[in-house]
């Protein structure tokens, strides 16, 4: 494949996941408002709500799963740093290429299992069985969407690691990556 195509794909996916992460990050505010409202109603007015806990769980769940691709984009996941940081950048890329297989199995199963589950929920317009009974199908759709965005971001990481492992050079120097995000 031509390097320009790879750079274009990486730039597109990185920008998309940066935008998605920034948009999804705002879900923390409704979660906070709902929880504060519940605490005030429960303790100040002795009038707890039937909807606050479930709403906050749904919003936070969407926030959590949809933020995964953004976290992957910015290397926010855990490594065994005590060993990993001692490796050269090229050796790190080779180690990452081996461990990406576990990532692809995880994300593949997540996508494979969540798509029919979310689709079935959508077809029946599934609602929660709680007293409040909100629709749950939109929240269930966040899982396959998150898996898809993580899959794309994982592909960009695999491309970069493969290039580094084979050539010994970064495909996208850090300065270029930071500049591409700003524009």
Residues 15/179, Cβ–Cβ less than 8 Å: no
pLDDT at 120: 96
Per DSSP, 127 falls in state B
Tens-digit pLDDT profile for the chain (183 aa)? 588 888 999 999 999 999 999 999 999 999 999 999 999 999 999 999 999 999 999 999 999 999 999 999 998 877 677 788 888 999 989 998 998 899 999 999 999 999 999 999 999 999 999 889 999 999 999 999 999 999 999 999 999 999 999 998 888 765 455 554 454
Residue 77 to residue 81: CA distance in whole angstroms: 11
Residue 6 to residue 91: CA distance in whole angstroms: 22
pLDDT at 68: 92
Residues 162/97, Cβ–Cβ less than 8 Å: yes
Residues 36/115, Cβ–Cβ less than 8 Å: no
pLDDT at 175: 47
């Amino acid at each position: 494949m031509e390097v320009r195509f790879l750079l274009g794909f990486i730039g597109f996916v990185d920008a998309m996941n940066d935008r998605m992460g920034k948009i999804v990050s705002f879900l923390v505010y409704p979660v906070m408002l709902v929880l504060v409202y519940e605490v005030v109603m429960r303790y100040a007015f002795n009038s707890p709500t039937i909807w606050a806990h479930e709403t906050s769980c749904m919003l936070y769940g969407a926030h959590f799963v949809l933020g995964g691709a953004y976290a992957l984009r910015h290397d926010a996941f855990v490594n065994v740093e005590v060993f990993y940081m001692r490796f050269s950048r090229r050796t790190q890329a080779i180690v990452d290429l081996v461990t990406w297989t576990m990532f692809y199995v995880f994300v593949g199963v997540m996508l494979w299992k969540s798509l029919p589950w979310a689709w079935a929920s959508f077809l029946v317009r599934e609602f929660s069985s709680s007293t409040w009974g909100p629709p749950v199908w939109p929240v269930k759709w966040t899982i396959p969407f998150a898996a898809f965005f993580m899959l794309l971001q994982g592909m960009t990481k695999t491309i970069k690691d493969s290039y580094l492992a084979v050539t010994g050079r970064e495909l996208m120097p850090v300065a270029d990556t930071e500049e591409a995000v700003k524009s």
